[in-house]
Amino acid sequence: MAGEPVTVETRGGVGIVRLDRPEARNALSPEVFEALGEAIDRFDADPGIGCIVIAGSDEVFAAGADIKAMRDRSFQDAMTQPSARFWPRLAACRTPLVAAVSGFALGGGCELALACDMIVASETAEFGQPEITLGIIPGGGGTQRLARVLGKQQAMELVLTGRRIRAAEAHELGIVNRVTREGEWLDAAVELAQLVARRPPIAVQLAKQAVLAADETALSAGLAYERRLFELAMATEDRVEGMSAFIEKRKPRFRGR
Ligand code: DAK
């Protein structure tokens, strides 16, 4: 019998959630969506966690939504099942998210990685949106996020053909932050996450909100929003500590206030 569909651990201020459903190539069943959402919510509420890594195994990040669970789903089911709730839940996470991708990231798996704030990929990673081959289209943000990162033409090709791209091409196209050698992907992702986790947490969350707003707003509105968030950062104790530490030539001790 299959065990828990995700495992969690922490490493130096970083929460790591790993999809663990190897018999189905980490397909995102309703149970996986629920467990993943819960783990992310718990880490997001934990003041000891400054960054979250979402990972799979060496072989597969996630092969997408569970096709077997989806085949007989009615329209009503599709409206209410956990996957529909998962995506807004993920978007509400204030803590930065790093996707650590090795092997296949397909369909909802690719969308999960794209919904994260940064992606670290093994050279073995393959990304793709094969939904079209099943008679559906991406439903977890793939068309929108790919079009924003790649531009219309490149996104259109991937979405209309379902062609998979390897890590090197994904890096060239700007989807992936860095590509590592096989076997080094998780440590590299955790290292990047730990760097973020060492930064003052309120400023980190404000910075995440500011960058995400760039996709949603016109430049003038985005600049005004950034200005408000900057002013909030100025009101924190951590920024007094950060600036004092710089002037006194010592390491800052951030307390999340
Ligand atoms: N769902 C269910 N089972 C899957 C699966 C999937 N996505 N992917 C693999 N499996 C199962 C296989 O059926 C097989 O099961 P058994 O035959 O052993 O029972 C087992 O995992 C091993 O699979 P393979 O034999 O195929 O393994 P390989 O290593 O040869 O190939 C592969 C790995 C990942 C290349 C291949 O399995 C594959 O192409 N998988 C399907 C990829 C795919 O088409 N993904 C897109 C799914 S649709 C939404 C949000 C999001 C979505 C929808 C709605 N809303 C918010 C509304 C997302 C949709 C999708 O992702």
Residues 81 and 45 in one domain: yes
Q: Are 226 and 233 in contact (CB under 8 A)?
A: no
Which pLDDT belongs to residue 2?
A: 64
Residues 47 and 29 in one domain: yes
Token digits for 30?
């309703």
| 214, part of any domain | yes
Residue pLDDT, tens place only, 131-190: 999 999 999 999 999 999 999 999 999 999 999 999 999 999 999 999 999 999 999 999
Residues 205 and 177 in one domain: no
Q: Tell me the whole-structure pTM to 2 decimals.
A: 0.97
Kindly give the number of the ligand 1 atom that is closest to the alpha carbon of 84.
Answer: 56
Residues 183 and 233 in one domain: no
Which pLDDT belongs to residue 9?
A: 98
Residues 140 and 237 in one domain: no
Ligand 1 pocket test: pick from 21, 23, 25, 136 the residue with the most ligand atoms within 8 Å of its Cβ.
25
Residues 151 and 83 in one domain: yes
Catalytic residue among 99, 131, 197, 233: 131
Please, which pLDDT band fits residue 250 given cuts at 50, 70 and 90?
very high
Q: How many domains does the chain have?
A: 2
Supply the range of the domain harboring residue 210: 201-248
| 48, part of any domain | yes
Sign of CA dihedral 220, 221, 226, 232: positive
Let me know if 65 is a catalytic residue.
yes
Token digits for 40?
């992310």
Q: How far apart are CA 166 and CA 161, in angstroms?
A: 15
Residues 42 and 146 in one domain: yes
Residues 74 and 145 in one domain: yes
Cβ contacts of 92 within 8 Å, gap of 6 or more = none
Residues 36 and 140 in one domain: yes
Residue pLDDT, tens place only, 57-111: 999 999 999 999 989 888 888 777 767 889 999 999 999 999 999 999 999 999 9
Catalytic residue among 111, 115, 126, 233: 111
Residues 58 and 127 in one domain: yes
- Regarding the beta carbon of 64 and ligand 1, being less than 6 Å apart is answered yes
Q: Distance of alpha carbon 39 from its chain centroid, rounded? A: 13
- Regarding the beta carbon of 56 and ligand 1, being less than 6 Å apart is answered no
Question: What does residue 25 show for φ and ψ, rounded to 5 degrees?
Answer: 55, 40
Which pLDDT belongs to residue 191?
A: 98
